Amino acid sequence: MGEVPQEGPRAVILSVGEELLDGRITDTNSAWLARALRELGFEVRSMRTLGDRPGEFREVLETLAREQAPPRAVVSTGGLGPTADDRVRRETAELLGMPLVEVPEAASALQRSWLRHQAPGEPPSWYLDQGRVPAGAEILENPAGTALGFAVEAGPFLLCCLPGPPREMEAVWTGGAARLLAARGAPGTRRTVLYHIASVPESQVEARIRDLLEAEGALRYGIQASLSRVSVAVYARRGPEEAPEVLEERLREAEAEIRRRVGSWVFGRNGETLEGAVVAALHRRGET
């Protein structure tokens, strides 16, 4: 396989909201962002869930900036709404020593939204906060909601603050955050492929691939069990200086090894399902 590529740029995901800590809402954003960041070549080093305690968001950012090997990107979700406990924009501005500034287009949209959905008259300042960002930050438009996202240089890392509702978070990511982070990442240097297995327990699969699970290098392996299947994950990476073909070569090598060891149990890859595999097998045999 040649020399092991260096670790990619690091990223940290922060999920903000007391409702996450007390179990009222399940955090699906972190898993979604982890996959998206990996596609951009980042190594996600940690995911942290924060409550709404005043100063907590700022404290975490300050701690990350002081680390010996700080992340290159920090992506947060939540804490951008209009209520008193939504403190992300304000604490980011305080951290940077910058004021919050109003985005005129966003302010106009919020005024229209207030009249349409809330009450007649001018919207209160706290509602208009959704259209304010720290001075110097890049605006991340939110086509699916009212709260703006933003991105700003915060010491050693780029901080991207996204709204919490998953539909809004995904829209802001796709509309702007992904482009900014791609410039900090290493797109095309990492791929993950899943191989799905049915009818045998995790212990039998692990017995055949245990040495692979313990190995470190340009190819890493993982295993995960659910009620309906066992999945073996292959994580492949290449160095930025290596040719793109190297990544595909490593994946082909990994697939050959997986199929040599557990191939008779594998029914599909990635998004393929057992039901789909059964239907495909019936079609091949001319059966229904």
- pLDDT tens-place string over residues 196-250: 999 899 999 999 999 999 988 888 899 999 888 999 999 888 887 788 888 899 9
Distances, alpha carbon 251 to alpha carbons 111, 263, 275, in Å: 52, 15, 26
Q: Which residue has the tokens 């950012």?
A: 61
Maximum pairwise Cα distance, the chain = 70
User: Of 110-114, 230-234, 253-257, 281-285, where does mean pLDDT reach its minimum?
Assistant: 110-114
Return the pLDDT at 118: 65
Return the pLDDT at 5: 52
Q: Encoding tokens for residue 63?
A: 């701690």
Q: Please give the Cα distance from 12 to 76 (Å, whole number).
A: 8
pLDDT band at 2; cut points 50, 70, 90: very low
pLDDT band at 126; cut points 50, 70, 90: confident
Calculated CA dihedral for residues 199, 205, 206, 210, nearest 10 degrees: -170
Pick the more confident residue, 13 or 147.
Answer: 13
Q: Specify the pTM.
A: 0.78
Closest residue by Cα to residue 100 from 65, 47, 136: 136
